[in-house]
Amino acid sequence: MQPKVKPKLAVWKFASCDGCQLSLLDCEDELLDVVGAVELAYFPEATKSVVDGPYDVSLVEGSITTPHDAERIHQIRRESKVLVTIGACATSGGIQALRNFANVESFTRIVYAAPQYIDTLKKSTPIGDHVRVDFELRGCPINQYQLLEVINAFLNGRKPNIPTYSVCVECKRRGLSCVMVSQGTPCLGPVTQAGCDALCPSYNRGCYACFGPKESANVPSLSQWWRSSLDVRREDLVRSLRTFNSGATDFERESIRHAN
Amino acid sequence: MRTRTINVDYLARVEGEGALRIDIKGGRLDDVKFRIFEPPRFFEAFLRGRNYTEAPDITARICGICPVAYLMGAVHAMEMIGGVTVPTPIRNLRRLLYCGEWIESHILHMAMLHAPDFLKYPDAIAMAQDHPDEVKMALKLKKIGNDVMKLLGGREIHPINVRVGGFYRVPTRREMRAMMDDLKWALDASIKMVKFVTSLPFLEFEQDYEFVCLKHPDEYPLNEGRLVSNNGMDVPISEYDAVLIEKHVPHSTALHTYVNGGGTCHVGPLARYSINYDQLTPLAKEAAKDAGLGETCRNPFQSIIVRGVETVFACEEAIRLVEEYEEPDRPFVQMEPRAGTGYGCTEAPRGICYHRYTIDDAGLIQDAKIVSPTAVNQKVIEKDLWHYVEPNLDRPDDELQWECEQAIRNYDPCISCSAHFLKLEVNRS
């Protein structure tokens, strides 16, 4: 019998903090099993070996912010049977998408003494704006168990089982009392996709939307509630919508509505 | 004239995107460039206009490997502006959170990123086939570091429980005591890790560095201290900008740091160890002695042992902090914003991480400056490479390249942090 050929997994990085790919190395209990099932064909954070494509599954971290990266993602798409974007940067542009609301030249001048050395695009954009994406895994950072589920699903030719309901559902399931109702703490949980197991509310804190807008989120309704019932100032509402997923359509549109 | 170029386009087993190029012309070393090409993300720019309370969570996103360094730099700077001093239990919880990050980050680097260099494996997974016990032990140890961060921070990557003034929720004594068995195992395992890395083959490579780190009168530095060097620097952190200056060079998206009126400096475990040896915990000192280290260490290849010694320290310190823990009355101290400038400088696993913020009366950030340890170390990394390559020019390119990459990884460079970082090119002509 021929030895079974292991599927090839590749991990790619664009503008990001490395946290989402670190989630894979943080699977301390599962890591040796994962590498028993797949070949780490390209994963520079973990290995210097490089196996040529095509790759069965590519995980892409980070957003597109330079002309070179805008070209590179097309090459990766051509070499990947399945392309999965991981994390807020790759799925909505990340924290660096805050430049999209400002002037990038002025940003460059603030940070760098010699702006002429810096080659950057006016906007930070998600991978899906540039190439076809097979699955988007949300989170800032992603949930490592969701990552294992997604890898497992694509290796077995099935659809990943990742819920698209809100953080509120997780909160109720954990039996936490609502931080908005009981403490008057502004919380983005009602419009934010689940995935963290209602982490912030479990620490007496309002959700700040690491996982981005949930499916068909009613952000205007929540904004109105924040403004009228919790006395949240307009500028604080705008800042809350403009953090790690400011480029996600539902949050972007609502933040612009209140910013102007 | 014959030209040789050694080129590493994308350095592996570092956090982020960097490259190296070495040019050799007519048998002489012509140039060494350690290049950071991580795309700029402009944190200092978009922090302007944000509320002072947002700085910890936003700056944590600079780095997924050492978010605690950013959380801590930001909270200390803001509290300086607000005149807030946190009570001892909160100060101790912050110290414990940092111990968790040191354990996790040091073990990740030692076992998974750096040890394979010494034993000539492409990665820790290949190394695990011949050294399964060490790799499994390291994974478990790393996990315990992450568990400390999970309890105090909510999660290990981008913790959510840190705020200006303290925490959103503090753990109960019972939750803390539940970690004790794991921490005791971790202390024992960390001593074994020091033994394992001490057995690795080391190159002779003593360098004359200006070490810069924090120093605190009562403890091995994590969150607080004065900025000191082995060359006479001794200033409060608010004088950082006067003693360490930054320059923008074309080949890097990370700014280079120099000592004002001097040359390059070296931050990280070797600096901390050599300046603060006296304040290590008893078992950490014993582990260092058993490893054959003196009270200073100037061989950057031995940083892997020093990281091990610091991991022993972090485990011992964590045990003490858990034992002595008393729940504070309130999880945080309320701060009222007022106009001013504040400074935060803490010891990230890779070295000092500096923050400076100016806020207005409403608490909005007017100006921000953040300097990561890898950005500071860029220049000393280039210098090490220069000193290493020059006497070894007759060696074949593949061996030179392997050892140059190893020399870079001595610094556990965190490139994502420093872009505001590696590819090896060696050019021989």
Could you tell me the CATH number of the domain that includes residue A123? 3.40.50.700
Minimum distance, in Å, between the CA of residue A217 and any CA atom of chain B: 23
Q: Which of A17, A120, A203 sits opposite B154 (nearest CB)?
A: A203
Contact B26, B347 (CB under 8 A): no
Do residues A43 and A127 both lie within one domain? yes
Could you tell me the residue range of the domain that residue A234 belongs to?
167-259
Question: Which segment of A153-157, A188-192, B2-6, B96-100 scores lowest on mean pLDDT?
Answer: B2-6
- Is the minimum CB–CB distance between B14 and chain A shorter than 8 Å? yes
> Is residue A220 included in any domain, yes or no?
yes
What's the structural domain count of chain B? 1
Tell me what pLDDT residue B419 has. Answer: 43
Question: Minimum mean pLDDT among A215-219, B51-55, B90-94, B392-396: which range?
Answer: B392-396
Would an 8 Å CB–CB cutoff place B186 in contact with chain A? no
| Chain A residues inside the 8 Å CB shell of B126 | 47, 49
Query: Do A214 and A116 sit in the same domain of this protein?
Result: no
User: A37: distance to nearest CA of chain B, Å?
Assistant: 13
Mean pLDDT of the A145-172 span: 96
Percentage, residues of chain A above pLDDT 90: 84
Considering the domain architecture, whether residues A132 and A14 belong to the same structural domain is answered as yes
Q: Are residues A110 and A182 in the same domain?
A: no
Q: What is the pTM assigned to this prediction?
A: 0.94
pLDDT on residue B1: 59
Parallel, antiparallel or unpaired: strands B226-229 and B212-215: antiparallel
pLDDT for the residue numbered B129:
93
Q: Tell me the pLDDT tens digit for each residue of B356-367.
A: 999 999 999 999
Same domain, A37 and A116: yes
Is A200 inside any structural domain? yes
Distance CA A212, CA A230 (A): 22
CATH number (domain holding residue B355): 1.10.645.10
Do A185 and A131 have their domain in common? no
Is pLDDT at B287 greater than 90 in this prediction?
yes
Say yes or no to pLDDT of B38 above 90. Answer: no
- Model confidence at B36, pLDDT cuts 50, 70, 90, reads confident
Residue B342 bridge partners (DSSP): B357
Cβ–Cβ below 8 Å for A32 and B63 = no
Number of folded domains that form chain A: 2
Nearest-Cα residue of chain B relative to residue A100: B46
Q: How far apart are CA B290 and CA B194, in angstroms?
A: 9
Same domain membership, residue A142 and residue A19: yes
Q: What is the predicted pLDDT for the residue at B189?
A: 98
**Interface predicted TM-score (ipTM):** 0.95
Q: What is the mean pLDDT of residues B76-82?
A: 98
Contact yes or no for A111 and B136 at CB 8 A: no
Residue A112 sits at the chain B interface (C-beta within 8 Å): yes
Residue A2 maps to a domain: no
Domain boundary among A155, A179, A209: A155
Residues 85-124 of B with CB under 8 A from A: 108, 112, 122-124
Residue B41 near residue A13, CB atoms below 8 Å: no
Mean pLDDT of chain B: 92
The 10s digit of each residue's pLDDT in A215-249 is: 999 999 999 999 999 999 999 999 999 999 999 99
Q: Which residues pair with A126 in a beta bridge?
A: none
| Residue contact B45–A106, C-beta within 8 A | yes
**C-beta separation of B408 from B422 below 8 A:** yes
Task: Examine residue B349 and say whether the peptide bond preceding it is cis (omega within 30 degrees of 0).
Answer: no
Task: Give the per-residue pLDDT at A1.
Answer: 53
Of B64, B128, B247, the CB nearest to A22: B64
Give chain B as a 3 state SS string: CCEEEEEECCCCCCECCEEEEEEEECCEEEEEEEEECCCCCCHHHHCCCCEHHHHHHHHHCCCCCCHHHHHHHHHHHHHHHHCCCCCHHHHHHHHHHHHHHHHHHHHHHHHHHHHHHHHCCCEHHHHHHHCHHHHHHHHHHHHHHHHHHHHHHCCCCCCCCEECCEECCCCCHHHHHCCHHHHHHHHHHHHHHHHHHHCCCCCCCCCCCCEEEEECCCCCCCCCCEEEECCCCEECHHHHHHHEEEECCCCECCCEEEECCCCCCECCHHHHHHHHHHHCCHHHHHHHHHCCCCCCCCCHHHHHHHHHHHHHHHHHHHHHHHHCCCCCCCCECCCCCCCEEEEEEEEECCEEEEEEEEECCCCEEEEEEEECHHHHHHHHHHHHHHHHHHHHCCCCHHHHHHHHHHHHHCCCCEHHHHCCCCCEEEEEC
Q: What is the mean pLDDT of the segment spanning A120-149?
A: 96
Is pLDDT larger for residue B281 or for residue B414?
A: B281
pLDDT higher than threshold 70 for residue B197: yes
Asked if B377 and B351 touch (Cβ cutoff 8 Å), the reply is: yes
| Percentage above 90 pLDDT, chain B | 75
In a domain, A160, yes or no: no
Among B83, B88, B176, B195, CA closest to B134: B195
Regarding whether A249 and A184 lie in a shared domain, the answer is yes
Q: Say if residue A103 is in the same domain as residue A195.
A: no
| Tokens coding A93 | 């542009």
Distance, CA of B11 to chain centre: 18
Place B424 in a pLDDT band, splitting at 50, 70 and 90. very low
Q: Is residue A144, in this structure, part of any structural domain at all?
A: yes
**Does residue A177 share a domain with residue A151?**
no
- Tell me, yes or no, if B50 comes closer than 8 A to chain A by beta carbon: yes
Residue predicted with more confidence, A43 or B6: A43
Are A65 and A183 members of one domain?
Answer: no
Per-residue model confidence as pLDDT tens digits over B224-239: 999 999 999 999 999 9
